[in-house]
Structure 1
Amino acid sequence: MIVFVLAYLGGILTIVSPCILPVIPFVFARADRPFLPNGLPMLIGMALAFAAVASFASAAGGWIVAANQYGRAAALALLAGFGLTLMLPGLADRVMRPLVRLGARMSGSADKPGGDGIIAPCVLGIASGLLWAPCAGPILGLILTGAALQGTNARTAALLLAYAAGAATSLGLALLAGGRVFATMKRLVGAGEWIRRFAGLAVLAAVAAILLGLDTGILTKLSVGTTAVLEQALLDQLHPQRKPGGDGATAARTEDDAADLPAEGLLPSLSGAQQWLNSPPLSLGGLKGKVVLVDFWTYSCINCLRSLPYVRAWADKYRDRGLVVIGVHAPEFAFERNVDNVKRAVATLGISYPVAIDNDYRIWRSFENQYWPAHYFIDANGRVRHHHFGEGNYAESEQVIQRLLAEAGNRGVPKELVLVTGSGVEAASDGRDVKSPETYVGYDRADNFQSPGGVVQDESHVYTAGQQQLNGWSLIGNWTVGAERAQLNAPQGGIVYRFHARDLHLVLGPAADRQTIRFRITIDGKPPGADHGTDVDAAGDGEVTTQRLYQLVRSAGGASDRTFEIRFLDPGVQAYAFTFG
């Protein structure tokens, strides 16, 4: 129930988000009509359309994407006709029949006694719902991530409907207030016709903005504030038990505290794995009597990579005392579904314990997991006794392992803790001075994009660098930006990012197998020198050869505001996400 309340409140907050601007003209074009037979059906149609499309698009295949594109095109045509009928009803009826005639019927039917006044605004609301692309803040991000990983189901649809209902509620309140203003203005001589024409112009402007992609580009930059802080505060207050522990974000337990480990449930089945690496398939029966550590990870996740030295050390230290470590590889990006890529990563990272390939997220869902990395500690009786999300708290986690091994009858379990010093991408983050967030390049989750004109979705486009502000980034050159990543179409293209951190990583890969893509980086316009990462030399030169995370900057002098630029000398590179440490 708490999650549904969060979804509804998150929807209400969209009224102060810039992403609501494109649909406001569609709603307020009918603000001079009675609310119950006009405004309310339109908002209901908008909420239902958004919830239906988002439910399927978050987890379905490419067919729903194509269907949604046709639906958006039809909605744009319908609303453009509606706008024209408001501005020039006579001319529009002659030039654009029968589409505009349908729009004219919709715009005027509510005034006719016995007309289809409820159906018409509902259809307009559905069209608006097809076009609405809300800003993906923390609450909507939580809902969509769950939908993508757990599949489309009644709960997912209900959460999205709750979110849309919250947005409709705030729009409805604004519509009621706006209706009173319009009613007052229409009392003035001649004002009614001008209001109608202005509303039509606003509708056409909104259609043009959506058609040109301005609703997800320039409009986002016009925000005088963001709802993300408010949404995160709501999550922390109403949903704190699912907040991951970061780099030491949760105080480490003492040894006495570790003794109190109530059962959280039974170890779920591992039969959903597509394939097993380093081991034959493991079963619950075969693990009976063993202490088990389940580590959910994915090989391009920087947080997972920084926790790996500890997981490997625990596997080696306690293997002969009854500990079984199982890595469950659940992919975040499409290339991580390639088992050959995972095999190479397992070998490169020196992982010798069993790894379950969970491409369908069956094991992930059985644990009701939401995070990378996530560690679950299971006792010899098959009960989950402890969990930890994110990096950090390694001493606490090892004390839990020691406790569970002692409970299982292992005598002489060593009390000292492993000494781990990660290197390269596995080195611990300087979390106290990291002011740059994980940043995705694909348009589904992209933030702070500063190239002029915004993102052009799924089409080849030449980008230029925008004015660089902290945590802002730009593309340079000819790129095609997809939902998950951007691909360079011509040589000499690049990416610029203004960041504050010690380390900068970028998930990259070649578009074709066995392709080598040369690149060169600069920091504040100069070669990196001593500040180069493990995948680049002091002159700034490096190569993309496989799909993985590349460490490009390791500042010798610690974190500070710096401008990073990478130029690719060859086309075909695919860029997915920046991470920092």
Structure 2
Amino acid sequence: MAVVSYRRGMKLSLFAAVAAVLCCVVASQSIAQENEHSIVGSSPLYGLTGATGWINSKPLTPKQLKGKVVLVDFWTYSCINCLRALPYIRAWADKYKDSGLVVIGVHSPEFGFEGEQENVQKAVQKLGITYPVALDSDHAIWNAFHNEFWPAHYFIDAKGKVRYEHFGEGQYDQSEKWIQELLQERAGATMPGNTADVQGKGVEAAPDMREVKSPETYIGYARAAHFASPDGIKKDVEHAYTEPSHPALNEWGMAGKWTEHDQNAVLKAAGGKIIFHFHARDLHLVLGPTYNGKPVRFRVTIDGHAPGENHGVDTDDQGNGTVTEYRLYQLVRQKGSVEDHVFAIEFEDPGVQVFSFTFG
């Protein structure tokens, strides 16, 4: 089953999460058929003219890409689904670069901070991405392709037509075979049929989907769901929140003085907490430092105790970590059996920005 991040603007609920997965299953069954998708009689690659900037390349045009096989990868750097697909995209870009494949990462932001070129440049460098990245901060390319998901992969033949599509994680061998098929058509010669041996590490490691029973959960009120603190969310005003005493599975809440905005919550005084009752091997949280860039220290607990060997790559065994930049932080990776747990993160400094939970 493919794993997909939700389309821009969709309000999340457990029903929406199930619907999105079912939608992805249908897509996975249909994309094996040839799909000569185009935009009003022209190559969809003309959508690249809407890029607000480029990283690792000068602007690429349909004329320059004529005769090449192109893989367009829609992604955004705080999306866990996109991050887990990246090892495969990098491997294909390297393996087939001399055979006529051009990989273009189209970075279409979900959150405001992902639309800033400096943030994307740092992420691209840190993630080891060397292929061209088109900045799609106005979602012009996203709209030109009629795209709705992160990640989304469009496989374009040497004539400029989208022949195959894949939405979400998974089916990597099939995707690579499509690349081989399009390159074989282009060259008129047989391509080697082996597929890349890819093993993601850290946050890029494949999820344990059998144990993911918690959905992506947004903190900002525009798409927040399952909020369990007494009195509910107060929009755009500072409020002293109280920690929920017994949150049910997938419920979350806050403690301390916070201001809830449409995309995030901002801590107004040191000592604030966020609590989440979850079931998954991995827990991630998209965080940002203070508005003026000061780092924010935090400590994570699981069921009231230090995480020990179950800490994520962004915490130590005592649960300590620091928010230094806008990105996804892996806070929990369980080593043994996966069970329900109550996660808590307490911030030692004010000003942290909290955006969303994701799981794996």
Whether TM exceeds 0.5 here: the answer is yes
The Cα shift of 1:562 comes to 0.6
Aligned amino acid, residue 156 of structure 2? I
Aligned to 2:24: 244
Aligned to 1:451: 229
Q: Does 2:273 align with 1:494?
A: yes
Aligned to 2:341: 562
Supply the distance in 1 between the matched residues of 2:17 and 2:116 (Cα, whole angstroms): 35
Aligned to 1:399: 177
Supply the distance in 2 between the matched residues of 1:230 and 1:463 (Cα, whole angstroms): 27
The Cα shift of 1:552 comes to 0.2
The Cα shift of 1:231 comes to 11
Change beyond 3 A, Cα 1:276–1:446:
same
Q: Deviations along 1:136-175, whole A, 9 cap, x unmatched?
A: xxxxx97x828x9xxxxxxxxxxxxxxxxxxxxxxxxxxx
Contact persistence 1:291–1:322 (CA under 8 A): yes
Correspondent of 1:360 among 108, 119, 138: 138
Aligned to 1:505: 284
Correspondent of 1:379 among 157, 161, 168: 157
Aligned to 2:9: 145
Contact persistence 2:290–2:296 (CA under 8 A): no
Q: How does 1:307-322 map to 2 (within 5 A)?
A: 307-322=85-100
The Cα shift of 1:350 comes to 0.2
Correspondent of 1:261 among 2, 25, 34: 34
Supply the distance in 1 between the matched residues of 2:138 and 2:251 (Cα, whole angstroms): 34
Q: How does 1:40-59 map to 2 (within 5 A)?
A: none
Q: Deviations along 1:178-230, whole A, 9 cap, x unmatched?
A: xxxxxxxxxxxxxxxxxxxxxxxxxxxxxxxxxxxxxxxxxxxxxxxxx9649
Aligned amino acid, residue 522 of structure 1? T
Q: Deviations along 1:532-575, whole A, 9 cap, x unmatched?
A: 00000011100000000000000001421011000000001000
Contact persistence 1:506–1:578 (CA under 8 A): yes
Correspondent of 1:473 among 252, 258, 261: 252
Supply the distance in 2 between the matched residues of 1:386 and 1:346 (Cα, whole angstroms): 26
Supply the distance in 1 between the matched residues of 2:30 and 2:17 (Cα, whole angstroms): 28
Aligned to 1:484: 263
Change beyond 3 A, Cα 1:413–1:572:
same
The Cα shift of 1:511 comes to 2.2
Q: Does 2:320 align with 1:541?
A: yes
Aligned to 2:3: none
Correspondent of 1:300 among 78, 94, 98: 78
Supply the distance in 2 between the matched residues of 1:230 and 1:341 (Cα, whole angstroms): 30
Change beyond 3 A, Cα 1:395–1:296:
same
Supply the distance in 1 between the matched residues of 2:70 and 2:216 (Cα, whole angstroms): 31
Contact persistence 1:245–1:388 (CA under 8 A): no
Which of the pair is proportionally richer in strand?
2
Supply the distance in 1 between the matched residues of 2:83 and 2:249 (Cα, whole angstroms): 26
Contact persistence 2:17–2:215 (CA under 8 A): no
What secondary structure is seen at the aligned counterpart in 2 of 1:575? strand
The Cα shift of 1:395 comes to 0.8
Q: Does 2:222 align with 1:419?
A: no
Contact persistence 1:252–1:393 (CA under 8 A): no
What secondary structure is seen at the aligned counterpart in 2 of 1:444? coil
Supply the distance in 1 between the matched residues of 2:269 and 2:143 (Cα, whole angstroms): 41
Supply the distance in 1 between the matched residues of 2:132 and 2:169 (Cα, whole angstroms): 21
Question: What do you get for the CA RMSD once the two structures are aligned?
Answer: 2.3
What secondary structure is seen at the aligned counterpart in 1 of 2:123? helix
Contact persistence 1:518–1:542 (CA under 8 A): yes
Could you tell me which runs of 5 or more consecutive residues in structure 2 were left unpaired when the two chains were aligned.
Answer: 1-5
Supply the distance in 2 between the matched residues of 1:289 and 1:361 (Cα, whole angstroms): 26
Contact persistence 2:242–2:254 (CA under 8 A): yes
Aligned amino acid, residue 24 of structure 2? P
Q: Deviations along 1:434-479, whole A, 9 cap, x unmatched?
A: 0000000001100010000001110111111112110010101000
Change beyond 3 A, Cα 1:296–1:245:
farther
TM-score for both structures, normalised by structure 2: 0.92
What secondary structure is seen at the aligned counterpart in 2 of 1:415? coil
Contact persistence 1:245–1:390 (CA under 8 A): no
Supply the distance in 2 between the matched residues of 1:461 and 1:231 (Cα, whole angstroms): 29
The Cα shift of 1:432 comes to 1.3
The Cα shift of 1:409 comes to 1.0
Q: How does 1:159-198 map to 2 (within 5 A)?
A: none
Contact persistence 2:44–2:144 (CA under 8 A): no
Aligned amino acid, residue 164 of structure 2? H
Q: Deviations along 1:110-139, whole A, 9 cap, x unmatched?
A: xxxxxxxxxxxxxxxxxxxxxxxxxxxxxx
Q: Does 2:273 align with 1:409?
A: no
**Count of aligned residue pairs for this structure pair:** 348
Q: Deviations along 1:31-79, whole A, 9 cap, x unmatched?
A: xxxxxxxxxxxxxxxxxxxxxxxxxxxxxxxxxxxxxxxxxxxxxxxxx
Supply the distance in 2 between the matched residues of 1:451 and 1:230 (Cα, whole angstroms): 22
TM-score for both structures, normalised by structure 1: 0.57
Contact persistence 2:157–2:182 (CA under 8 A): yes
Q: Deviations along 1:515-535, whole A, 9 cap, x unmatched?
A: 111000001111111000000
Supply the distance in 2 between the matched residues of 1:334 and 1:568 (Cα, whole angstroms): 22
Q: How does 1:13-412 map to 2 (within 5 A)?
A: 145=9, 229=15, 243-245=23-25, 250=28, 261-265=34-38, 266-269=43-46, 270-409=48-187, 411-412=189-190
The Cα shift of 1:514 comes to 3.6
What secondary structure is seen at the aligned counterpart in 2 of 1:340? helix
Higher mean displacement: 281-290 or 554-563: 554-563
Supply the distance in 1 between the matched residues of 2:223 and 2:306 (Cα, whole angstroms): 30
Q: Deviations along 1:18-43, whole A, 9 cap, x unmatched?
A: xxxxxxxxxxxxxxxxxxxxxxxxxx
Change beyond 3 A, Cα 1:405–1:326:
same
Supply the distance in 2 between the matched residues of 1:230 and 1:519 (Cα, whole angstroms): 31
Change beyond 3 A, Cα 1:417–1:566:
same
Supply the distance in 1 between the matched residues of 2:188 and 2:198 (Cα, whole angstroms): 24
Supply the distance in 2 between the matched residues of 1:305 and 1:396 (Cα, whole angstroms): 19
What secondary structure is seen at the aligned counterpart in 2 of 1:312? helix
